[in-house]
Amino acid sequence: MTSRHLTIESLKQGGRPDRVAAGPFTGYFAAEHAGIPLGDYVTNGRLIAEGQLRLQEDLGQDILITAADTYYIAEAFGLKVDMHQNALPTAKAPPFNDPGEMRHLGVPDPFADGRMPVYLEALECLRAAVGDDLAIRGTGTGPFSLAAYLLGIDNFMLRLMDIESSESSDDDARNMRDLLGLMTETTLRFVEAQADMGADILYVGDSLASLNMISPRLYRAWVQPYHREIFTALKEKTGKKAQYTMIHMCGSNMEILEDMVQTGVDLIEIDSAMDLAEVSAVVRGRAAVIGNIDPVHVLKEGRPEEVTRACWDAVGKGLAGGRFILGSGCFVCPGTALENLRAMVDCAHGWTR
């Protein structure tokens, strides 16, 4: 079974994987591993592909990941960033203050605007290089986080709370809905482009919508309907093809896990803040789960034996819920020892049906 086949069997309903797939969230960790400066990595799709392939050769994980930084879509709407040689881009002042200012804007072109083309090029290079052998997970910022980057996180959150407590006008609420609608279309168009280019896992990351940032009530009113819209549209587009939608929202989201399942997403990334046994009991195979080896305390700071122990524990709990891939829940940290990541991959591949 190739890595791609294994990943697909791990994701589909009734699949028969012959071992556990390993998909640590390697992202920009691959740049460090391959000796590529981060500033070059996030501006050149060929280098992203080169870094991912180099890491995979040395590590043997099943899933390649194009995701690396945060602002490549928001830049299409005028967000300015500072680029750094050895760090991820950082955002300058948000380009808008009021959602009403954005009413004239249209959906950007993923092949031309912001830094979206970098990530499409990475995907294209990877697919051409690995054919059917390895699974590829794309990238995409969710609508809630996108809106927050464009208005400034504090401003965006305060406006939402004002709307929720009826301290704003109906116009404000309508403008906010319109803005999130535009962001939803934007995310969707970018991820659809990746579906056309053969990404196996259609990824949406919306970490500002996690319960570390907002209440369950805000999630249900201002996040979940838009996520459902994205995943429903992607399902319609991909039909019976072996392509699977994915949500990443790091943090402790137990209280909204059922709502996340109800978006119809195929794969939910769970980070170490959540207990996998509890997750399995809620999800019950209605979605696949990937997670949740702690990238800091276990993968970066632990020894290989500790990684192995944590991985066996996670595999047992994860498989109890049904479809499961061993992952790191969030980005693998710079400075993580390769032997620790190897212990993770070995554990996954050592499991047999």
| Residues making contact with Zn ion (CB under 5 A) | 250, 330
In three-state secondary structure terms, 116 is helix
Nearest approach in angstroms of CB 277 to Zn ion is 21
Nearest approach in angstroms of CB 310 to Zn ion is 18
Minimum CB distance to Zn ion smaller for 293 or for 330: 330
Of 314, 209, 320, 325, nearest to 267 by C-alpha is 325
Nearest approach in angstroms of CB 318 to Zn ion is 18
Nearest approach in angstroms of CB 207 to Zn ion is 5
Nearest approach in angstroms of CB 330 to Zn ion is 3
Minimum CB distance to Zn ion smaller for 122 or for 250: 250
SS (H, E, C) 145-202: HHHHHHHCHHHHHHHHHHHHCCCCCHHHHHHHHHHHHHHHHHHHHHHHHHHHCCCCEE
Minimum CB distance to Zn ion smaller for 52 or for 210: 210
- Whether 67 and 27 have beta carbons less than 8 Å apart is answered as yes
What is the full DSSP assignment across 6-60?
HHHHHHSTT---SS-EE----TTHHHHHHT--HHHHTT-HHHHHHHHHHHHHHH-
Minimum CB distance to Zn ion smaller for 61 or for 253: 253
* CB burial string 162-184: b at 16+ within 10 A, e below: ebeeeebeeebbebbeebbebbb
Nearest approach in angstroms of CB 250 to Zn ion is 3
**Cβ–Cβ contacts within 10 Å for residue 98, how many?**
14
Distance CA 43, CA 65 (A): 16
Single-letter residue type at 221: A
Minimum CB distance to Zn ion smaller for 114 or for 295: 295
Of 102, 84, 86, 215, nearest to 149 by C-alpha is 102
Nearest position to Zn ion, beta carbon: 250
Minimum CB distance to Zn ion smaller for 49 or for 250: 250
Minimum CB distance to Zn ion smaller for 110 or for 329: 329
Nearest approach in angstroms of CB 196 to Zn ion is 26
